[in-house]
Amino acid sequence: MITAATLYRKPLFDSHGKLDLLRDTTLALAKSYALILQAWAFFPNDYHLVVSFENATTAHRDFVRHLHRELAIRLNRIDGAAGRGVMYEFWDTHLTFEKSWLARLNYVHQNPVKHSLVPLANQYPWCSAAWFETSARAGFVKSVYSFKTDRV
């Protein structure tokens, strides 16, 4: 799982277009690295990813550095802020226990609800909940959504 924040936690992705940029850049770059994104949620000042690097030919740090460089270039071009720092730090957790993985899948999907942005996670366009609910087996969705996230 990867969580990253903007510099000083400023809400730099503060419009629908900028959130689209964050989501679309991340999804495209992950695809080019042959990563399997399992859950994602993007916000004005941070993002969360659950991603499998199982078949990747690169380390997670290289992917994150490349992503943050691309985001800075593209966002700074939009804002006319050449050279501005955009992303500041990231935290990664190597998930080795199935229950930890399931809880984090639920945490990422439910994050927009936790932040009171929408009543149902599948209504937030910058989160994978709607995709997950229509792509995964119903029993798996129910199982993931049953995991507590208060300690994640």
Q: Mean pLDDT, to the nearest integer, of 14-23?
A: 98
Answer whether residue 152 shows pLDDT above 80: no
Average pLDDT over residues 121-140: 98
Which is more confident, 3 or 149?
Answer: 3
pLDDT at 151: 72
Mean pLDDT, rounded, of the chain: 94
Cα distance between residue 30 and residue 132, in whole Å: 17
pLDDT at 54: 81
The total of other beta-carbon atoms located within 10 Å of residue 29's CB is: 16
* 53 to 6, 60, 92: CA distances (angstroms): 23, 7, 12
Q: What angle do CA 74, 34, 96 make, to 5 degrees?
A: 110
By the 8 A CB rule, do 5 and 45 touch? yes
Burial class (CB in 10 A: 0-12, 13-18, 19+), 67: buried
Give the per-residue pLDDT at 94.
Answer: 79
Q: Which domains does the chain have, with CATH numbers?
A: 2-145 (3.30.70.1290)
Predicted structure pTM score: 0.94
Q: In terms of Cα–Cα distance, which of 43, 23, 7 is closest to 116?
A: 43
Span 54-77, pLDDT tens digits: 877 788 889 999 999 999 999 999
Report CA torsion sign: 79, 82, 84, 88: positive
Residue 89 has pLDDT above 80, yes or no: yes
